[in-house]
A and B are shown apart, each in its own frame.
Chain A
Amino acid sequence: MTWFTPEVIDSIIAVVKAIVVLLAVVVCGALLSFVERRLLGWWQDRYGPNRVGPFGMFQIAADMLKMFFKEDWNPPFVDRVIFTLAPVVAMSALLIAFSVIPVTQTWVVADLNIGLLFFFAMAGLSVYAVLFAGWSSNNKYALLGSLRASAQTVSYEVFLGLSLMGIVVQVGSFNMGDIVKYQADHLWFIIPQFFGFCTFFIAGVAVTHRHPFDQPEAEQELADGYHIEYAGMKWGMFFVGEYIGIILISALLVTLFFGGWHGPFDILPQLSFMWFALKTAFFIMLFILLRASIPRPRYDQVMDFSWKFCLPLTLINLLVTAAVVLAAQ
């Protein structure tokens, strides 16, 4: 078996790891719909889905079955190619971005030097999902939704990138693994880069179109906005795509600001995956809590907040970080 070289074995292991991450993220994304409904129910003085299986846990299976068997219907007035492409982009863009996240020290699908930049690129691509959906649906509500989405993305991507530049300046690398290692050696970035954390979190919510930045789909105003014409599995892909976005942003927050796979004060280092998962779950909860607790600002107020508050804050943060780093040298 000459072809069974260590390189091949490594590749196979890498592929298996990648598939596991992919499946885990997609399954978690789907499961999140159940988790979110239960949590919302709990906070809102009601039950949420509790009929199917123990604690309603199989609700997700029922939902999936329903969605798979629904007719895959295209309204006659849509632009079919783009209409079909949109949910694919919605689900895949952020899913691919997950490949640069180091789940543990040894478990990362693509250990890119430009890991962070790769994430920015994918986040930038994900807006096309909304744009395509809104444009191709040939529906006024969808169009308004995608207009909002593009304006919001332009505003928030500006400081999405800038908010992390403080970290890059301190570490001197775009590589996720390096960033986590730097935190283990020094201090978690939540403390030196607190403002970076705040703005990145806000921008992250905006990128995933989650409440209160769900302007493109604002149910009360646009009646679901850009995905108003979607049904069945295509709609389901938007849905899962949104949850994948939440998982991705939560994982990024953990990786960039909360020491990745390290526990606090290096407790139980052998449980690295558990630490990562726990911290990520915490931020996912935060996303859901955010949705349960606050009203939605008006669209122009969201823009104002971005340009007049967040952007200056990130710029100051970057300048101060740079000055400190320079002074320390």
Chain B
Amino acid sequence: MTADTALYIPPHKADDQEVVVELHNRFGAEAFSAQSTVTGMPVLWVQRARLIEILTFLRQMPKPYVMLYDLHGVDERLRTKRRGLPDADFTVFYHLISIERNSDVMLKVALSESDLSMPTVTGIWPNANWYEREVWDMFGIDFPGHPHLTRIMMPPTWEGHPLRKDFPARATEFDPYSLTLAKQQLEEEAARFRPEDWGMKRSGTNEDYMFLNLGPNHPSAHGAFRIILQLDGEEIVDCVPDIGYHHRGAEKMAERQSWHSYIPYTDRIDYLGGVMNNLPYVLSVEKLAGITVPDRVNVIRIMMSEFFRITSHLLFLGTYIQDVGAMTPVFFTFTDRQRAYTVIEAVTGFRLHPAWFRIGGVAHDLPRGWEKLVKDFIDWMPKRLDEYTKAALQNSILKGRTVGVAAYNTKEALEWGVTGPSLRATGLDFDLRKARPYSGYENFEFEVPLAHDGDAYDRCIVRVEEMRQSLKIIEQCMRNMPAGPYKADHPLTTPPPKERTLQHIETLITHFLQVSWGPVMPANESFQMIEATKGINSYYLTSDGGTMSYRTRIRTPSYPHLQQIPSVIKGSMVADLIAYLGSIDFVMADVDR
């Protein structure tokens, strides 16, 4: 699959049963037990012993499941409403995507507490590596055969597995923290890089290698990201990305926040994405609750999301150009972001993290005069984008630094789980807003910008074009904003509707409980992916029929993008790595959650 063979992407098939039939034909129906969910894809439980052959089949069948989209675990021990499901203390799930079918499938494996081990699938999808490390880190599930099963999010000295249900979620459940000198030295020693651990040699036949520790504090690391480089002169022989310095346990927090009060946490996952982070979460919760939102809500949500796509891409553009050494454009892109924030602030009341979407709607209606603000912005932006293209992106030094640097093709991109603009820069026309429209994107006219070389330059060009398309979408929102309520009329929306509360005591009590405890979501599993600023972002929610989520899995795009780095950058120079890091457009909050 290369950029030249244009790939036909059929319309999205929700709950695609074809693959289930194929699997039944191949392995027999008794090998699978289906689970009914509202995730929009078939969820099949399989035996651990048969997992590898089934996954290999899915990977190699006609129209294969090329991407391991997600792999993680669930601690099932406290789950009460799981009738009809295989007995399990822990579950490991595999979420696969087929581009050619445009459909997904999820496989689940049940594990008992006494035997927590799973075969590794790193041989089938290389990007399983980090996911399996994270499952080990968070749940203590072993993956025999894994090339390097160590902690990834937590420090190497950590004890316990945080996402287990018996691991405390509150800081007050621990002894007060103190850092002694001895402890500090122990931690620092544990963080020391030993090349032998990673199968690296300290010297070649004629030279000694330099091991350069780039980050977690480095001007071009874009956050607390550490990457250890094995250098021969300035050439990168090999490298090891090290993440986890920005880990806040967002998935654990979700298990003790009400469905509503978790919304502000989602803002901070991709901290440049603002309300766009709310979108997959609220869409997913709305699926659980069975809420259909009014048109006005959809259009408002799309408009504000696209604003954040622009601000995120503007920050990308400025820092990207700065990473290749031009210091000026970043100040101009920040000026533009300020103009976008003028609109965002007027509408939502906040700037970076508005937490403005609500279950079943948005926090309030658009303010009077919003059209004028939006119009000012969409009149301002295009000429600035032209300027950036002319002044910076067509500069021959910038091209010399980025064209042909850190290039990968569509096949490699899919193998590593790359999504978003970085995937489209390789020529694959896979944009969820077109391929799997959500929240009403099917009603908008826009193009999906593509490039073909998949190098650091193309990744930037695609994003600049995306900003123009976002402006187009915003303009359509502005011209066609439907009238109507900004909140669905449904008892599970948050905050709950108050109009009828003062009429009789029953509704008053319900309202009181909904506000104080939060709404109770029906027990089920739901899932929503969206085309976020940096790639595909999704929330996989498990409700056990409570006021809080039982398990919230946040799959973020930046995580696999960083995992891919060594395979792309080997043999390049240090300066290329910087240009490459700039072109990935990641934020560490999005990686570590």
Given A140-B210, A220-B322, A220-B325, do A295 and B401 touch, yes or no (CB 8 Å)?
yes
CB of B219, distance to nearest CB on chain A (Å): 6
B400 in the interface, Cβ–Cβ < 8 Å?
yes
Q: Is the CB of B335 within 8 A of A297?
A: no
CB of A221, distance to nearest CB on chain B (Å): 5
Q: Which residues of A contact B178 (CB under 8 A)?
A: none
Q: Which of these, B213, B219, B323, B395, contacts A294 with CB under 8 Å? A: B395
B568 in the interface, Cβ–Cβ < 8 Å?
no
CB of B283, distance to nearest CB on chain A (Å): 38
CB of A233, distance to nearest CB on chain B (Å): 24
List residues 29-72 of chain A with CB under 8 A from any CB of chain B. Answer: 40, 43-46
Q: Is the CB of B325 within 8 A of A295?
A: yes
Q: Please, how many angstroms separate the alpha-carbon atoms of A46 and B338 in the complex? A: 13
Number of interface residues, chain A, beta carbon within 8 A: 29
Q: Is the CB of A298 within 8 A of B400?
A: yes
CB of A122, distance to nearest CB on chain B (Å): 28
Q: Please, how many angstroms separate the alpha-carbon atoms of A222 and B219 in the complex? A: 9
Given A220-B219, A296-B325, A298-B573, do A140 and B397 touch, yes or no (CB 8 Å)?
no
Q: Please, how many angstroms separate the alpha-carbon atoms of A225 and B350 in the complex? A: 39
Q: Is the CB of B575 within 8 A of A218?
A: yes
CB of B166, distance to nearest CB on chain A (Å): 43
Q: Is the CB of A298 within 8 A of B210?
A: no
Looking at A43, A295, A297, A300, which has the most chain B CB atoms within 10 Å of its CB? Answer: A295
Given A295-B326, A296-B325, do A223 and B332 touch, yes or no (CB 8 Å)?
no
CB of A224, distance to nearest CB on chain B (Å): 9
**Nearest CB in chain A to that of B335: its residue:** A45
CB of B327, distance to nearest CB on chain A (Å): 7
Q: Is the CB of A298 within 8 A of B576?
A: yes
Looking at B325, B331, B398, B574, which has the most chain A CB atoms within 10 Å of its CB? Answer: B325
Q: Please, how many angstroms separate the alpha-carbon atoms of A94 and B2 in the complex? A: 55
Q: Is the CB of A295 within 8 A of B398?
A: yes
CB of A159, distance to nearest CB on chain B (Å): 20
List residues 6-43 of chain A with CB under 8 A from any CB of chain B. Answer: 40, 43
Q: Is the CB of B400 within 8 A of A297?
A: yes
B321 in the interface, Cβ–Cβ < 8 Å?
yes
CB of B584, distance to nearest CB on chain A (Å): 15
Q: Which of these, B218, B328, B398, B576, contacts A44 with CB under 8 Å? A: B328
A293 in the interface, Cβ–Cβ < 8 Å?
yes
A-B contact pairs, 26 of them (CB 8 A): A40-B327, A45-B332, A46-B331, A144-B234, A147-B233, A212-B325, A218-B325, A220-B219, A220-B323, A220-B325, A221-B578, A222-B574, A293-B326, A294-B326, A294-B397, A295-B321, A295-B325, A295-B392, A296-B326, A296-B397, A297-B400, A297-B401, A298-B575, A299-B234, A301-B400, A301-B401
Q: Is the CB of B331 within 8 A of A297?
A: no
**Nearest CB in chain A to that of B326: its residue:** A295
B324 in the interface, Cβ–Cβ < 8 Å?
yes
Q: Is the CB of B326 within 8 A of A297?
A: no
Q: Which residues of B contact A141 (CB under 8 A)?
A: 212
B150 in the interface, Cβ–Cβ < 8 Å?
no
Q: Which residues of B contact A45 (CB under 8 A)?
A: 331-332, 335
Q: Is the CB of A44 within 8 A of B332?
A: yes
Number of interface residues, chain B, beta carbon within 8 A: 30
Residues of B participating in the A interface, judged by any CB pair closer than 8 Å: 210, 212-213, 218-220, 233-234, 321-328, 331-332, 335, 392, 395, 397-398, 400-401, 573-576, 578
Q: Which residues of B contact A295 (CB under 8 A)?
A: 321, 324-326, 392, 395, 397-398, 401
Given A43-B328, A296-B324, do A221 and B574 touch, yes or no (CB 8 Å)?
yes
A82 in the interface, Cβ–Cβ < 8 Å?
no
A171 in the interface, Cβ–Cβ < 8 Å?
no
18 further contact pairs, Cβ within 8 A, besides A147-B233, A211-B327, A221-B220: A43-B328, A45-B331, A140-B213, A144-B212, A144-B574, A218-B325, A218-B575, A220-B322, A220-B325, A221-B578, A222-B574, A291-B327, A293-B328, A294-B326, A295-B395, A296-B324, A296-B401, A301-B401
Q: Please, how many angstroms separate the alpha-carbon atoms of A296 and B396 in the complex? A: 11
A292 in the interface, Cβ–Cβ < 8 Å?
yes
Q: Which residues of B contact A299 (CB under 8 A)?
A: 234, 573, 575
CB of A303, distance to nearest CB on chain B (Å): 11
Q: Please, how many angstroms separate the alpha-carbon atoms of A297 and B399 in the complex? A: 9
CB of B207, distance to nearest CB on chain A (Å): 14
Q: Which residues of A contact B392 (CB under 8 A)?
A: 295
Q: Is the CB of A219 within 8 A of B401?
A: no
Q: Is the CB of A292 within 8 A of B573?
A: no
Q: Please, how many angstroms separate the alpha-carbon atoms of A141 and B211 in the complex? A: 11
**Nearest CB in chain A to that of B399: its residue:** A295
CB of A302, distance to nearest CB on chain B (Å): 10
Closest 4 CB pairs of A and B: A296-B325, A295-B326, A44-B331, A295-B325
Q: Please, how many angstroms separate the alpha-carbon atoms of A273 and B302 in the complex? A: 64
Q: Please, how many angstroms separate the alpha-carbon atoms of A43 and B233 in the complex? A: 37
Given A140-B210, A294-B397, A295-B395, do A300 and B324 touch, yes or no (CB 8 Å)?
no
Q: Which residues of B contact A298 (CB under 8 A)?
A: 400-401, 573, 575-576
Q: Which of these, B212, B328, B335, B398, contacts A292 with CB under 8 Å? A: B328
Q: Is the CB of A223 within 8 A of B397?
A: no
List residues 291-320 of chain A with CB under 8 A from any CB of chain B. Answer: 291-301
Q: Which residues of B contact A43 (CB under 8 A)?
A: 328
Q: Which residues of A contact B332 (CB under 8 A)?
A: 44-45
Q: Which residues of B contact A294 (CB under 8 A)?
A: 325-326, 395, 397
Q: Please, how many angstroms separate the alpha-carbon atoms of A218 and B324 in the complex? A: 10
Q: Please, how many angstroms separate the alpha-carbon atoms of A45 and B573 in the complex? A: 33
Q: Which residues of A contact B219 (CB under 8 A)?
A: 219-220, 223
Chain A 198-238 per-residue mask, 1 if CB under 8 angstroms from chain B, else 0? 00000000000001100000111111000000000000000
Looking at A40, A218, A221, A223, which has the most chain B CB atoms within 10 Å of its CB? Answer: A221
Given A44-B332, A218-B575, do A212 and B397 touch, yes or no (CB 8 Å)?
yes
Q: Which residues of A contact B400 (CB under 8 A)?
A: 297-298, 301
Q: Which residues of A contact B323 (CB under 8 A)?
A: 220
CB of A148, distance to nearest CB on chain B (Å): 8
Q: Which residues of B contact A292 (CB under 8 A)?
A: 327-328
Q: Which residues of A contact B335 (CB under 8 A)?
A: 45
